[in-house]
Amino acid sequence: MSYFLSEIVARLGGEVRGDDVAVERLAPLESAQAGEISFLASAKYRRQLDATRAGALIVSPQLAEELSGRFPLIVVADPYLYFARVATLFHPSARANGSVHPSAVLGAASRVPASCQIGAHVVIGDGTVLGERCLIHPGVVIGDGVEIGDDTTIYPNVTVYGGCRIGQRVTLHSGCVIGADGFGLAWDRDHWFKIPQTGRAIIGDDVEIGANTTVDRGAMADTIVENGAKIDNLVQIAHNVQIGEHSAIAGCVGIAGSTRIGAYCTVGGAAMFVGHIEVADRSHIGGGTLVSKSIRKPDNYASSYPLQTMKDWLANAVHVRHLDDLVKRVKCLEREIETLKYPKDDQNE
């Protein structure tokens, strides 16, 4: 597959400057060769231009002036976003081919349109309804009474428990689990009593959920991932959590029950959220941060301790254990200093 720059611009917009060359694939700037297209989104990567042999570049108007004549260019306002769209052009998503593998099991009263593709050893429960053009890869198990919207792709070995709802154009990557029981338990004298988890997991439109991520069903109300949210691999979303629209959550994040994360938030890898808190829209949480209370005001938040050697950490840990004593001593010293500044006799005068 190859495209002339003019063909790419006709589909995606932008402006061609220089020769209208054909490109066959995408490549990183430092290793791109003839016939390949790359991008330069920031002037700080300009040094890589000395090594590149790219056939064409995607650049901003600011950099285009400098590079005109050196490379064939596509000039756009946001080179990184445009590069992503070109990547989609070269590597379009697989489409359902309208087949059902003989080993698939379709439950009673399930509805699977002829436009869907159902892979080997897929199990679809009773009363489950699929939208048009769904692509269900091998080994997927979908429980009873599930609703799945149009153009959704579910990769191998995903499990969707009964009663859940999946929107349109959703992507569920291998091994993720939608609608498992939330961790609801009550202590009964000498043992735990399991609380039935009777809510659902609701996944909105245009959501992508990474490999081995879990979205638990609600205890009574629903767990909700709103439209456009993007969730990485190995994320735990507990019961009754709500993720706002177009929020992005990186890998290994843990979100405890009944937490609400607003819209357009970003969460760095391995961040942790305690339960029953709220995070304001457009908040940004750094990787490794422990969010232990509600965030009412959108801003950038982080609580990661700086990296240091084990020896230094152990030395500092000893001091941390005595912080309370240190605070008390400082307060005593402050009082003594005030006394020296303002003797009692002077104060009486």
Q: Return mean pLDDT, the chain.
A: 95
Which residue did the predictor score with more confidence, 1 or 344?
Answer: 1
Q: Which residue has the tokens 């890869």?
A: 137
Place 48 in a pLDDT band, splitting at 50, 70 and 90: confident
CA distances from 125 to 133, 136, 153, 167, 175 (A): 18, 14, 17, 18, 18
Q: From CA 152, how far away is CA 94, in angstroms rounded?
A: 11
Closest CA to 111 of 157, 150, 79: 150
CB count within 10 Å of CB 5 equals 24
Cα(65)–Cα(313) distance, rounded to whole angstroms? Answer: 50
Q: In what order do the strands lie in the sheet with 123-124?
A: 105-106, 123-124, 141-142, 159-160, 177-178, 214-215, 236-237, 254-255, 272-273, 290-291
- pLDDT tens figures, 207-223: 999 999 999 999 999 99
Structural domain boundaries of the chain? 3-90, 310-348
Is 233 within 8 Å of 209 (Cβ atoms)?
A: no
Could you give the CA distance from residue 28 to residue 40 in angstroms, rounded to a whole number?
A: 10
Residues 179 and 225: their CA atoms lie apart, in Å, by 12
Sign of the alpha-carbon dihedral angle for 27, 28, 33, 36: positive
State the catalytic residue, choosing from 137, 173, 239, 246: 239
Q: What is the dihedral angle through the alpha carbons of 186, 192, 196, 199, rounded to the nearest 10 degrees?
A: 60
Percent of the chain with pLDDT over 70: 98
**How sure is the predictor about 58, in pLDDT bands with cuts at 50, 70 and 90?**
very high
DSSP SS3 for 74: strand
CB atoms within 10 A of CB 103: 12
**Using one digit for the tens of pLDDT, what is the confidence trace for 163-190?**
999 999 999 999 999 999 999 999 999 9
Q: Is 246 a catalytic residue?
A: no
Q: Which fold has domain 3-90?
A: 3.40.1390
Q: Are 10 and 74 in contact (CB under 8 A)?
A: no
- At 346, the pLDDT band (50, 70, 90 cuts) reads low
Q: Rounded to two decimals, what is the model's pTM?
A: 0.90
pLDDT of residue 344: 64
Confidence of residue 155 (pLDDT cuts 50, 70, 90): very high
Residue 100 carries which DSSP code?
A: B
